Amino acid sequence: MNKQLPQDLKKYFWDCDFNELSMDKFAFFISERILNFGNFDSVNWLLKQIDREFLIEVIKNSRNLNKKTRNYWKIKLCL
């Protein structure tokens, strides 16, 4: 299944071919981008798409999360 992203997320992927993005293929990248730049609605959408363990993996291993974002999510998830 190649699940397309909602159109309201397109603004976060200005440098990509949005129609080629899917959670099946690019979940890590999509998660990074939304955690860094997303608003309340987009983060809520993301949290419905991924499980806690995957979110922790993204937070711990991402090279693209800025320090404030990483710190926020570590506090929020009690890591």
In the structure encoding, which two tokens stand for residue 11, read together? Answer: 């603004």
Instruction: Give a yes or no: residue 44 inside a domain.
Output: yes
Read off the pLDDT band of 78 (50, 70, 90): confident
Instruction: Give pLDDT tens digits for 12-54.
Output: 999 999 999 999 999 999 999 999 999 999 999 999 999 999 9
The yes-or-no verdict on residue 4 having pLDDT over 60 is: yes
pTM, two decimal places? 0.90
Instruction: Give a yes or no: residue 70 inside a domain.
Output: yes
Instruction: Give a yes or no: residue 6 inside a domain.
Output: no
Per-residue exposure over 20-48, b if at least 16 CB sit within 10 Å of its own CB, e if not:
ebebeebbbebbbbbbeebeeebeeebee
Instruction: Give a yes or no: residue 19 inside a domain.
Output: no
Instruction: Give a yes or no: residue 4 inside a domain.
Output: no
Instruction: Give a yes or no: residue 8 inside a domain.
Output: no
